[in-house]
Chains A and B, each alone.
Chain A
Amino acid sequence: MTSLPNSTQKKLGLVIDLDTCVGCHACVISCKGWNTENYGAPLSDQDAYGSDPSGTFLNRVHSFEVQPQTGAAQLIHFPKSCLHCDDAPCVTVCPTGASYKRSEDGIVLVNESDCIGCGLCAWACPYGARELDQAAGVMKKCTLCVDRIYNENLPEEDREPACVRTCPAGARHFGDFNDPNSHVSTLSRDRGGMDLMPEQGTAPVNKYLPPRPKDALPEIDVLAPFLTPVAETPKGFLGWLDKTLEKL
């Protein structure tokens, strides 16, 4: 049993915009690339070229179809990684103290040297955001690129999570939710940022921006103001053209 900090100085996390996520998986692979090379054990792949390839990913994109009451079905791309919850059940369930939430910024991490690979945290996480690396036998999860965001070996503009830096559609945003004026706080407020599965009581830090209403262009009839005919026949049209050109 591991305890959570009562509060954290910063509350770092992501805003993920479901209105613009095109489902390209750029975030998935850039995360895999950075975190294979960096924090802790590499993210391994089993049967990498075989019949059942399976590897460790800290971030995955799922796609869901939505069938509204009326109108066409929609496809929503849903990137999912650790939400760095304020009430992180994965931390409190950890028997060794390997899982912890940082008091300075709220990032939930696994201290791999203390992790025994028991998998309790993955069971406790309602989001399925943790994966046990099959090669290293330790639990892997999103670190919010803790080894990038403060890294003095990186240019300042690159001190953000790899997934945010790479997202081509600009659908991922990183910042401090404790600062009400931060970009992420503002964006979340303005666009109705949502908690994922709030009923679980995990108080997730990451927020999702819902897709805007779709297929809302009103259908119109012949007499729409922008399409009112100037004439009904080609001859009539040429008459209109002559008159209009006179006025130009």
Chain B
Amino acid sequence: MQQPVIDLSPHVSDEVRKTTCYMCACRCGINVHLKDGKVAYIEGNRDHPVNKGVLCAKGSAGIMQVNAPSRLRAPLKRVGPRGSGEFEEISWDEALKIATDWLAPIRKNNPEKLAFFTGRDQSQSFTSFWAQNFGTPNYAAHGGFCSVNMATAGIYTMGGAFWEFGQPDWDHTKLFMLFGVAEDHDSNPIKMGIGKIKARGARVIGVNPIRTGYNAVADDWVGITPGTDGLFILSMVHCLIKAGKVDLEYLAQFTNAPVLVNSDPDSDDFGLLLRDENGKELVIDRTTGQLARFDQPGVRPDLAATHRIGDIEHRPVFHLMADQYLSDDYAPEAVADRCGIPAPRIRAIAAELARVAFEEAFELDQPWTDFRGEKHQTMTGRPVSFHAMRGISAHANGFQTCRALHVLQILLGTVEVPGGFRFKPPYPKPATAHPKPHCKVTPDAPLDGPHLGFVHGPEDLVLRPDGSPARIDKAFTWENPMSAHGLMHMVISNAHAGDPYKIDTLFMYMANMSWNSSMNTRGVIDMLTDTDENGDYVIPRIIYSDAYSSEMVAYADLILPDTTYLERHDCISLLDRPICEADAAADAIRWPVIEPDRDVRGFQSVLCTLGAQLGLPGFINEDGSQKYKDYGDYIVNHIRKPGIGPLAGFRGDGSQSGRGEVNPDQLDRYIENGGFFVEHIPAEASYYKPWNAAYQDWAVNMGLFDSPQPYLFQLYCEPLRKFQRAAEGKGPHQPPDHLRDRIKSTMAPLPIWYETDQTGNDGFSIHALTQRPMAMYHSWGSQNAWLRQLHGHNPLYLPTKLMRENALQDGDWARVSSPHGSITVPVLEMAALNDNTVWTWNAIGKRKGAWALDENAPEATRGFLLNHLIHELLPPKGDGLRWANSDPITGQAAWFDLKVAIEKAPAPTQPGPLQSSPSFAALKSPVPAAPKDLAWKVGK
């Protein structure tokens, strides 16, 4: 029989345009194949440093994002009541005039009455520059409700954290342990890394109450009780110190373990580090027995020596650690029940960490020179690496837990060594090299400096002269002193309460605050629509920018429709959250690979125009004309400081990297290069970066720092002690009395673990969590015709034990309640789950009428949110106060502290599709109904 003749070499595409994905925050390189000017196919870019050719489901489904029927089409002006979804489409001229008319008087008189919060923004160095020029102190992105604990604990402890700050040394690691990792953080690199190390037989240990995704392929799964990771980690620290399985050489040279601490409880400076007149930490030099600066050439810091000045004893940090962690309180037997991990298992994992770190140590034949001028012939590998994310971060003890994990890494000597965890430029960068937060408001003028930063003691808090919070979100106050990313999740409730003050305009970008991005969703909706005694909205004006018809659109007065990611310029900047690898500095762009077919504009370009119309100094020329015609123009021509702009590549005549004059052809050079730029780090600079003279010099040349700044890892975090000290009544800056005890007990300078506050939660004993699936990003997946077929609804997964206890079977419904509310949802049994934990996929549930979905879409019927069960405040404790549901150190939203009760509920019986509750009235869609069927082929 004759086989048909088929064309084995069909035409693939007319053109391939290379840009950066934005189907999640991972920022992979993509090849966009075009036919007849339309997107025909998207694949990973093999040359790209992040994904090296691979691409996840989201990335490949980008084609369904750029044709999504939920895309907004033109600026919208609200014409019905807030929440009604009644809008009329207006011109950009009118939209910009409205915005300018609202914002100009605010800037002239009370810049703080603008609250500008930018959600899942990837252009924070730009949006913060805009906000700073406007003069409001009220700016942040979404970090406060995401993973600020991880980022902040990492930076305070070791000058960087996971994800964009650093990565495991995939080429050398032999044991990889991950804690609480959401499956989309750091999406493709983690999958690639796990595949790579498993292929050579390395062990993967997953610590997570839920065994899906990465934990499903882990060799060993630790189904820990949520919120106890810190206790588990400190128990392993106990075992390792007790067995002497710590890297003493590393601790002495590169950490503050040998730094002397005032150990006299009667001294005013009790707990502070001993420093010289220039503020340099002091150690005892083992060679001379004398006090010496930690960075003095030739010094051999002594981990054991104490030092007396007058009557005051000074002990090295390592002594304090031994005192604290050798306590039987941290013995595996003492923590096993609370963690839900048998003591022998804790020991087994600690032993495996020790075995791999010390018995499988190896030397790389690579000489290097440290910051004290000492030459080393080799680099010692300790092939144990870690990664962690929101699972340990989004608890009210998350900051200390993240610190505990970093301390574990450091004790094993596995940070910035071969086989361990490696920083990615511009990290390592210690907290002291970051700006401090600024809040000085001057009408009609810019703010006095960057909004966000790192505080080093009570004197750095962002308070007004009367001690009240300067920011609407109360970041950097005694309630959460180290809130380095702000608290976007508190903005609406504070603005509604007029606490600490009332605002005029809430301006938000890419944050679905009336739905899945808020705790207490129903309450937030009520706050957004609440009116005062005059019938005026309590939050007077809301401007929102989004590309899609999200749930938040209905609650804004003015909508500035953004483009999709293939229709715009962006820069993934070294000033912001770049795409560097441990071996290279790298940044990237997005550029319009297709033109919008709607009357929409990139949000950053709109800010360039709005900034000029408002006369913001950074956005106008000397003659008052608009300085940057659009974001692409800004990316090329903006100068942050001499020679430094948003993009590090192809500067000057195109040959300069890092520092260099503006190159008008820079974007073209990026496009020619595949949309990104990479500058490799020399081999002698590739490890030990915080202490490696060659790396420090390279970083200065690249413009990452202005001078070398070697530093010690902060096992002992002195800024925490400074807050504790204030709470003890010492020093000129004093907290309010009601916060003293909490500050004293939580802001310990060595990592601790404490039970998160469940007072008032009696009867609610089951942990409830969410995870994001690998094929969805926040709410975006539901509008994607392909991805929603993978995760179109979200059952509540219950462990076998809870299914049996409640006589539940798959497909039954359950009422799930917390002190704050209840939901009724479908359940499904899952055996590979912590016995006392239930969970569901995050942000699958949708409100009817949003995202251009049919009102009977499963996302809007069976789909649900756990957000209805979580309040931004804890239940009353009887002390007359309401405490925030957040980490007391950073203000991170404690999403995962949720505890619930579960009971079987009758299945919903109303006519029509099965409906979870609560159910909200349908929003009127601002976009036309979606097509029924798709058969998407753009070529002939």
Beta-carbon contact of B774 and A221 below 8 Å: no
How far is A152 from B304 in the complex, measured between Cα atoms in Å?
Answer: 68
Q: Mark A12-42, 1 if CB is under 8 A from B, else 0.
A: 0000000111111110111011101110011
- Would you call A135 an interface residue if the criterion is a C-beta within 8 Å of the partner chain's C-beta atoms? yes
Q: Given contacts A24-B191, A168-B192, A245-B304, are A44 and B775 in contact (CB under 8 A)?
A: no
Beta-carbon contact of A28 and B243 below 8 Å: no
Task: In the complex, identify which listed stretch (B151-159, B346-354, B405-413) lies at the interface while the others stay far away.
Answer: B346-354
- Would you call B861 an interface residue if the criterion is a C-beta within 8 Å of the partner chain's C-beta atoms? yes
- Would you call B69 an interface residue if the criterion is a C-beta within 8 Å of the partner chain's C-beta atoms? yes
- Categorize the interface residue count of chain A: 35 or more
Q: Given contacts A48-B930, A151-B9, are A220 and B937 in contact (CB under 8 A)?
A: no
Beta-carbon contact of A20 and B345 below 8 Å: no
- Would you call A241 an interface residue if the criterion is a C-beta within 8 Å of the partner chain's C-beta atoms? yes
Select one of A75, A77, A114, A216 contacting B832, CB under 8 A.
A75
Which residues on B sit within 8 Å (CB–CB) of A233? 326
How far is A225 from B383 in the complex, measured between Cα atoms in Å?
Answer: 19
Beta-carbon contact of A227 and B790 below 8 Å: no
Which residues on A sit within 8 Å (CB–CB) of B937? 36-37, 42
- Would you call B54 an interface residue if the criterion is a C-beta within 8 Å of the partner chain's C-beta atoms? yes
- In the complex, which residues 251-296 of chain B have their Cβ closer than 8 Å to any Cβ of chain A? 252, 286
A120 to chain B, nearest CB (A): 18
Task: In the complex, identify which listed stretch (A81-89, A121-129, A159-167, A197-205) lies at the interface while the others stay far away.
Answer: A159-167
How far is A151 from B8 in the complex, measured between Cα atoms in Å?
Answer: 6
Instruction: Name the CB-closest residue of A to B912.
Output: A51
Instruction: Name the CB-closest residue of A to B306.
Output: A238
Select one of A19, A170, A245 contacting B286, CB under 8 A.
A245
Which residues on B sit within 8 Å (CB–CB) of A76? 216
Instruction: Name the CB-closest residue of A to B789.
Output: A53
Beta-carbon contact of A29 and B242 below 8 Å: no
Beta-carbon contact of A29 and B786 below 8 Å: yes
How far is A3 from B932 in the complex, measured between Cα atoms in Å?
Answer: 40
Q: Mark B842-857, 1 if CB is under 8 A from A, else 0.
A: 0000000000111011
Which residues on A sit within 8 Å (CB–CB) of B44? 165-166
Beta-carbon contact of A65 and B61 below 8 Å: no
- Would you call B51 an interface residue if the criterion is a C-beta within 8 Å of the partner chain's C-beta atoms? yes
Beta-carbon contact of B244 and A25 below 8 Å: no
- Would you call B214 an interface residue if the criterion is a C-beta within 8 Å of the partner chain's C-beta atoms? yes
- In the complex, which residues 191-207 of chain B have their Cβ closer than 8 Å to any Cβ of chain A? 191-192, 194-196, 198-199, 203, 205
Which residues on A sit within 8 Å (CB–CB) of B12? 151, 153-154
Q: Given contacts A37-B939, A51-B854, A111-B4, are A152 and B212 in contact (CB under 8 A)?
A: no
Which residues on A sit within 8 Å (CB–CB) of B832? 65, 72-75
Beta-carbon contact of B322 and A234 below 8 Å: yes
Which residues on A sit within 8 Å (CB–CB) of B196? 170
- Would you call A116 an interface residue if the criterion is a C-beta within 8 Å of the partner chain's C-beta atoms? no
Which residues on A sit within 8 Å (CB–CB) of B191? 22, 24, 168-169
Q: Given contacts A24-B775, A36-B936, are A165 and B9 in contact (CB under 8 A)?
A: no
Beta-carbon contact of A135 and B933 below 8 Å: yes
Beta-carbon contact of A241 and B304 below 8 Å: yes
- Would you call B768 an interface residue if the criterion is a C-beta within 8 Å of the partner chain's C-beta atoms? no
A25 to chain B, nearest CB (A): 4
Select one of B63, B243, B788, B913 contacting A230, CB under 8 A.
B243
How far is A99 from B520 in the complex, measured between Cα atoms in Å?
Answer: 56
Beta-carbon contact of A100 and B239 below 8 Å: no
Instruction: Name the CB-closest residue of A to B853.
Output: A49
- In the complex, which residues 764-806 of chain B have their Cβ closer than 8 Å to any Cβ of chain A? 774-775, 783, 785-790, 792
A57 to chain B, nearest CB (A): 8
- Would you call B213 an interface residue if the criterion is a C-beta within 8 Å of the partner chain's C-beta atoms? yes
- Would you call A244 an interface residue if the criterion is a C-beta within 8 Å of the partner chain's C-beta atoms? yes
Beta-carbon contact of B347 and A227 below 8 Å: yes
Beta-carbon contact of B213 and A147 below 8 Å: no
Beta-carbon contact of A241 and B303 below 8 Å: yes
Beta-carbon contact of B211 and A168 below 8 Å: no
Select one of A55, A74, A238 contacting B785, CB under 8 A.
A55
Instruction: Name the CB-closest residue of A to B356.
Output: A226
How far is A75 from B215 in the complex, measured between Cα atoms in Å?
Answer: 9
Q: Mark A201-223, 1 if CB is under 8 A from B, else 0.
A: 00000000001101111111110
Instruction: Name the CB-closest residue of A to B855.
Output: A51
Give the interface of A toward B (CB within 8 A): 2-3, 19-26, 28-30, 32-34, 36-38, 41-55, 57, 63, 65, 67, 72-77, 97, 100, 102-103, 109, 111, 113-114, 135-136, 146-147, 150-154, 157, 162, 165-171, 211-212, 214-222, 224-231, 233-234, 237-238, 240-242, 244-245, 248
What are 25 A-B pairs at a CB distance below 8 A? A2-B1, A25-B774, A26-B55, A37-B35, A37-B939, A42-B937, A45-B934, A47-B932, A48-B785, A51-B856, A63-B212, A65-B830, A73-B831, A150-B9, A165-B43, A166-B56, A168-B191, A168-B195, A211-B217, A225-B351, A226-B352, A226-B354, A226-B355, A226-B358, A227-B350
Considering the complex of A and B, which 4 residue pairs feature the smallest CB-CB distances, nearest first? A73-B831, A49-B930, A168-B191, A219-B344
